Structure 1
Amino acid sequence: MPADPLLSVVIPCLNEESRLASTLEKLTAFLRSKDYRWQVLIVDDGSTDRTAEVPARYMTAEECVVLKNDGNRGKGYSVRRGVLESAGEFVLISDADLSTPIQEWDRFLPHLEAGCDVVIGSRSLPDSNVVKRQAWYRQGMGRIFNRIIRFLVIDDFVDTQCGFKAFRKSTGAQLFKKMRIDHFCFDVEMLFLAKKAGLNVLELPVEWHNSDDSRVRIVQDSSKMLKDAIRIRVNDLLGRYR
């Protein structure tokens, strides 16, 4: 693991053997062009394929750390583990398919260095560049979920679910140590806690490409996300985030 890296990239993975090769090729080309230290953390969430073996084909053991969960624990659990075990001054969370190109990091870094606590990508701002859109039914479900989140939990953001988010490691540790949501609604919990703590959160428009191989199941995961949104509000009312 690099000593004192500037950047840690955390990528949660579940059965991503087929997509991870392309992602790591792009990450390697981008990150090796930088004049600062960096690391990538692949968090394998109980994959049944060879996801954990792919990174060694593209990155050295110093460049990439593979963390293996004891079974399928959830995306939120995996991101939390990766963030808390990262070593970078800044941490970037990215989806395994790079739906948001890694080059967008260059636009995030100046805001973090200027003192912004959290920077999140958005697919729904006027200047967002959605190159390939989701299917109409996924777009519809996303809009419904966003309205529910704005009503139940937090009303500050246009897009809470874009998988491209960054923060200073000290800020991330402060937030993720309190977090309890293990599945897809962890983004909402993180942003809720960030606003509750009075942190400065900036939402930036990003380029985004929908992946047809989405791991979000419309019915099952939407139900879990709704339950988790309610859990966030209940946890707050019961004082569990102190």
Structure 2
Amino acid sequence: MFSFCHEMGQYVEKILASTGLSYNLLMFYVGALLILAVFCMSLALYLTSSPFPRVVRYDNELHFLDPNSGEFKAFPNYYDPPTGQVLSMHQIDNPCQNFHLLAVPPMLDECLDYLEGRQKGDSKFSYEVIVVDDGSRDRTTDVGLKYSRKMGTNKVRVLTLVKNRGKGGAVTLGMMSSRGKFLLFADADGATLFKDIEKLEASAKKLISLVPVEEEMGNSSTGATEQKKNKEGEQASNDINWERPAVIVGSRAHMESESIAKRSYIRTLLMLGFHLLVRLFGVKGIRDTQCGFKLFTRQAARLCFSNLHVQKWAFDVELLKIAYYFNMRMEEVAVTWTEIEGSKVIPVWSWVQMGKDLMVIWFRYKAGIWRITPKIN
């Protein structure tokens, strides 16, 4: 390191000697070039950005196939009221991870076994699973349709995207196609123990019992009001007030020391650097923003995903930023998580890309380039 700095010093001295510039004048030129570069980058971000998200959805993505009848039926819309006491669960398959063709069946088996068992024990409980195929190159859609044929499309549906949107875009379209009062998205690799959804639901039911009536429809940009108790009986497990916004974040933060011990130095450094950037440019108070296991009340999903700009890997951070904007009730809940071999994107590139996206998110909001719609029309 010392040798590098010494060589750089000699290089600067040669430049000064050959150009006749003073050191202060050289620093002035360097600073001016940096300012110009920042200005050009800012102008490019402004000209290429839309204040509000533009969700493109093709006609084929508005319908799902019923493999038993051969008919295409329309997906519901999350702007509609929920249908009964439904838990909507979304499995997202990423096109860069074709190993998911092998991972999807075990994950679906685990979650469907749990959901079926729960339904048998509680006649009022109902659910739906939406498998989102984000333009994958494998047979994820075919695998999902086998489950639709077996379970019926009232329980399992497949949303096949015409082209890849990125993880954020795939989750958004899955959420838009839901009919539940609680909406969960989970990665298709099955890294998180599905039964842990009970922890997230318990936390959500506790939090929505504290949300004041004034915040129910997201009519305030801040929602800064006193906490109130609900009417007696609203906390009953089968009486979910879906209009109260709450977000529950599955978390692996309790496993951080163990994961550091298993990771290489470069991956650990990149991970810690990303966490620092999240705290500086993203959200505070949530230790693990990237775990693919998050639960939303229907109203929270409407407000968050209708305002989501980011379509790629860093979308989780913007989701939480939007939730903070509306002053939603949030809680981080520890979940059982296992690292699945092959389920990671290229480590170095993913961390660098997400770090860049974080700073872009921060800048676009600070500069007023991106905006949030405070009400649902």
TM-score w.r.t. length of structure 1: 0.91
More deviation in 219-228 or 15-24? 219-228
Whichever residue aligns with residue 241 of structure 1, its letter is R
More deviation in 140-149 or 39-48? 140-149
The CA distance in 2 between the partners of 1:104 and 1:77, in whole Å, is 25
Find the partner of 2:325 among 185, 193, 196. 196
Is the Cα contact below 8 Å between 1:100 and 1:208 reproduced in 2? yes
In the alignment, which residue of structure 1 is the partner of 2:35? none
Q: Could you give the per-residue CA deviations for residues 172-230 of structure 1, whole angstroms, max 9, x where no partner exists?
A: 11111001101110110011111121111101111110111124222332232122212
The CA distance in 2 between the partners of 1:134 and 1:64, in whole Å, is 37
The CA distance in 1 between the partners of 2:337 and 2:267, in whole Å, is 15
In the alignment, which residue of structure 2 is the partner of 1:173? 302
Find the partner of 2:116 among 32, 36, 50. 32
In the alignment, which residue of structure 1 is the partner of 2:159? 67
Is the Cα contact below 8 Å between 2:145 and 2:157 reproduced in 1? no
Find the partner of 1:22 among 92, 99, 106. 106
The answer on 1:78 being equivalent to 2:167 is no
Whichever residue aligns with residue 56 of structure 1, its letter is L
In the alignment, which residue of structure 1 is the partner of 2:90? 10
Q: Could you give the per-residue CA deviations for residues 91-137 of structure 1, whole angstroms, max 9, x where no partner exists?
A: 111111121110000111122122341111111137x8979x86335
The CA distance in 1 between the partners of 2:198 and 2:167, in whole Å, is 25
Find the partner of 1:98 among 190, 193, 197. 190
Is the Cα contact below 8 Å between 2:92 and 2:134 reproduced in 1? yes
The CA distance in 2 between the partners of 1:140 and 1:101, in whole Å, is 27
The answer to which structure has the higher strand fraction is 1
Find the residue that maps to 1:203 and give its secondary structure: strand
Find the residue that maps to 1:174 and give its secondary structure: helix
Sort the Cα spacing of 1:239 and 1:215 in 2 relative to 1 into closer, same or farther, 3 A: same
More deviation in 166-175 or 114-123? 114-123
Sort the Cα spacing of 1:239 and 1:115 in 2 relative to 1 into closer, same or farther, 3 A: farther
The CA distance in 1 between the partners of 2:328 and 2:356, in whole Å, is 26
RMSD of aligned alpha carbons: 2.3
The CA distance in 2 between the partners of 1:219 and 1:121, in whole Å, is 24
* 1:130-141 correspondence runs (5 A): 135-136=263-264, 137-141=266-270
The CA distance in 2 between the partners of 1:169 and 1:239, in whole Å, is 27
Whichever residue aligns with residue 284 of structure 2, its letter is D
Find the partner of 1:50 among 139, 142, 146. 139
Gaps of 5+ in 1: none
Is the Cα contact below 8 Å between 1:130 and 1:207 reproduced in 2? no
1:235 shift after superposition: 2.6
In the alignment, which residue of structure 1 is the partner of 2:370? 240
Is the Cα contact below 8 Å between 1:83 and 1:169 reproduced in 2? no
The CA distance in 1 between the partners of 2:277 and 2:263, in whole Å, is 20
1:29 shift after superposition: 0.4
The CA distance in 2 between the partners of 1:96 and 1:113, in whole Å, is 26
The count of aligned residue pairs is 241
The CA distance in 1 between the partners of 2:254 and 2:272, in whole Å, is 13
Sort the Cα spacing of 1:90 and 1:4 in 2 relative to 1 into closer, same or farther, 3 A: same
In the alignment, which residue of structure 2 is the partner of 1:119? 248
The CA distance in 2 between the partners of 1:175 and 1:64, in whole Å, is 24
More deviation in 176-185 or 57-66? 57-66
The answer to which structure has the higher helix fraction is 2
1:239 shift after superposition: 5.2
The CA distance in 2 between the partners of 1:45 and 1:160, in whole Å, is 22
Q: Which has the higher contact order (CA 8 A, sep 6+)?
A: 1
The CA distance in 2 between the partners of 1:129 and 1:78, in whole Å, is 31
1:234 shift after superposition: 2.2
